[in-house]
Structure 1
């Protein structure tokens, strides 16, 4: 692999490819000032900050005699508070090249950072996220809300991005395009569909569904949107339909085996799995799967617990059914389904009981634990969530980096004496 001479002029979000190139340290990157500016950029999209640190080492070692004088300046642009204390001590501070620059302010600042671990103070502002989580609509304070908040996971902050011209709705579905499907405004059950243009933050009316659907379950499969079950204002539904953006048309598909409102679903391996819900008599523990190739629904193993208002999400090889209401109480329990074995198993419970909530991946299945993130500004239920990546105007959906604290590498004499 080689790098063209204009590597630094390439788009910031191609950085991950740049770091993986075997000739990253080649003479085309001899200018340290441009490299420092590139690394310093908030919009630099990297998996984690250790990648940036290792790239700086690779660049320096490629021509150590010439570049060691620039090493502290370039190293200072790495956001070390985003690196674990273990890596900082075992890999950074123990590195001979870092030790050779103990006299510099930049390296002294890294030592100060390692000593401040556990203070929970964000010393260096995080980079812009590569993706954001949108929390859309819902029920708040006894009324539906049109509020939209974007979660900046790198800063652990929420940003209000509401378009106040949009009609409020709750118990709707959302998908990453972003479409808002069905729902309820406290008076009317919707069959309407709205599409959000994330570049302009404007909503556009789309063709309506065949059926009004509140408490609807929505999934995306093969670039088509599936809407299943729900409540039309009179009865719980077993009907389902699919929208093709290419033809701009909705088409009915085979009904489910059961009436389901307040269920939830996910697309996995070319099929749609829908779990739980309410049939107007009881909360359901049944689940079923739709195969678009055969156009058939098939019942799968039931969950261990009845769950209405459940959240369902796929991660790795499993489908997770999270929280909900069992007819008596709200739940914090979670169970995981394996399509391979057609069986459910319990996993770590959430920290809080929840039903009718939005979900995206935050649970860590490797350590089987949950963690708390920043609260939303709008308290609400019956919302829906989706993750959006690759936005060209990501700065409009993330908290301003100028509003976040930044470590000052240029410490004054009193700071140096403290170290």
Structure 2
């Protein structure tokens, strides 16, 4: 009998037949005949209700605080081990399951809500976790809110945020705003929703906005003329302090100047650019550097367990960085190594079917594709696909042409080649983009922040380079970005987004002022 009690089909037959019922659960005016032993199996609440909180001869148990429909779902779950969760019933069902300590239903509801996160509901789901304790759902809801803040700030739920929750969100380094004006305008919208009550909080909220990261033009045209800034003395002082900081950053020619001022502290990036391997100082290297676009700073994250390689391809898939193929001036590789970005350990993956350097690598539908390349004797038209769940490469249809050393990326639905041309698929046409500031070959190229693409390192005709340039598609202009620590060419670049341990791959915000001082002293010495 004990084993049969664990089988949902057996319990379901009991429920349908109504045999051997020994208690009644009453919710409002609806009564449910139940078997105590079955409800006790799904929740310690019922065990306590039937054994410790009532006499042995009691038959009817009244459950307050929920509807009969929700109680029916929970009783059905006790008998069938399954429950139907919908957008309409999930919140009420979660509250009831939490009240009755039916933790399997609580987990099912939390999983459902985690999959339903949107810009218009993530705040209410986050607030729900203050009532129903779920660290996992709370983290997922906060991450969605922080990652999609620009959208979230335009929905009604944002306007209902309590003051302290808004302060907590704004002061986080991991709040994802491409421009700090997004945070400033969100504060104004929140205040304007109930101005008489909320304008008194403008100074404390403004102190959480990184004002000194805004442009001088935006500060003069949008911030200074705002009535709240002009009528609140504390806010006006902060604005003028921010303007002084912006001016100092410009004149000192340092993007991390004055970072002791919290108004100029860069937030954590949503994505980082990794530069991997290549040739440096006449030798292949295993060096890995990560570029923090918000702080305009490179950090060395090299793991010395990796084999040095150059002319290789890279791809990021499911939290791992794959280094594919390559060449060391003696051997052409078909080997593949996987770097776990969470644990920062290297693992060997299945080798490709063909040796390939100068290989083009991309990811599509949870698979990695290696296209063309050079095997030491000929340029290749072959292509192959890697399935990580099987750890296996398989050949796919060959390309129409042999090709190697092909580098390109996509930006704003256009394909951008390394020859300073861009293809627009809507018009089926190519057009030139502005030339780079420095001629180079064998460089890395990647898109970051959805509007900028970076060219990294390379060979300038005389030597390998550590120079980095950034192209802004909206202005068709190139600007210099922070130099790498390492001179290198024949490297590979890739972008990694939304790492749970992103702080390990960016410069410490608390260390930035001291790093800046070291850099300045090095330049002066």
TM-score normalised by length of structure 1: 0.76
| Partner of residue 391, structure 1 | 499
Match of 1:44 in 2: 175
Equivalent residue number for residue 253 of structure 1: 396
Q: What is the CA distance between 1:380 and its match in structure 2?
A: 0.5
Does residue 1:158 correspond to 2:298, yes or no? Answer: yes
Matched, 1:21 2:155: yes
Partner of residue 313 from structure 1, selected from 409, 422, 425: 409
CA drift at 1:247: 3.2
Q: After superposition, what is the alpha-carbon deviation per residue over 1:225-273, rounded to whole angstroms, capped at 9, x for unaligned? A: 22122222233322221212243321112333333232x2xxxxxxxxx
CA gap of 1:346–1:49, structure 2 versus 1, over 3 A, is: same
**2:279 and 2:489 in contact (8 A); partners too:** yes
1:5 Cα offset (Å)? 8.6
Higher relative contact order (CA 8 A, sep 6+): 1
Between 1:144-153 and 1:236-245, the stretch displaced more is: 236-245
Q: CA deviation at 1:203?
A: 1.4
Corresponding residue for residue 414 of structure 1: none
1:4 aligns with 2:124: yes
How do 1:7-406 and structure 2 match up within 5 A? 7=127, 10-15=141-146, 16=149, 17-26=151-160, 28-31=161-164, 34-101=165-232, 103-104=233-234, 106-115=235-244, 116-117=246-247, 118-119=250-251, 120=253, 122-123=257-258, 124-177=264-317, 178-262=321-405, 264=406, 311-323=407-419, 334-361=420-447, 362=453, 363-405=471-513
Is the 8 Å Cα contact of residues 124 and 157 (structure 2) preserved in structure 1? no
State the secondary structure of the residue aligned to 1:176: strand
In structure 2, C-alpha distance between the alignment counterparts of 1:215 and 1:88, rounded to whole Å? 47
Deviation at 1:338, TM superposition (A): 3.0
Q: CA deviation at 1:386?
A: 0.7
Is the deviation greater in 355-364 or in 379-388? Answer: 355-364
8 A contact 2:126–2:142 mirrored in 1: no
Q: Which is strand-richer, 1 or 2?
A: 1
Distance 2:212 2:316 in 1: 31
**Aligned residues, how many?**
344
Query: 2: distance between equivalents of 1:254 and 1:213?
Result: 17
TM-score by length of 2: 0.62
Asked if structure 1 preserves the Cα contact closer than 8 Å seen for 2:332 and 2:355, the reply is: yes
| Partner SS for 1:252 | strand
In structure 2, list runs of 5 or more residues that go unmatched: 1-119, 131-137, 259-263, 448-452, 454-470, 515-525
Q: State the SS of the aligned residue for 2:314.
A: strand
| In structure 1, distance between residues paired with 2:324 and 2:481 | 27
Separation (CA, whole Å) in 2 of partners of 1:251 and 1:35:
51
Confirm or deny: 8 A CA contact 1:237 1:259 kept in the other structure.
yes
Mapped contact 1:152–1:158 kept (Cα < 8 A): yes
1:137/1:384 contact within 8 Å kept: yes
**Residue 13 of structure 1: how far off its partner (Å):** 4.8
Q: Which has the higher helix share?
A: 2
Q: Which has the larger radius of gyration?
A: 2
Q: What are the superposed Cα offsets for residues 360-413 of structure 1, whole Å, 9 maximum, x if unpaired? A: 13222222111110011111001111111110000000100001249xxxxxxx
Q: 1:114 to 1:335 in 2, by over 3 A?
A: same
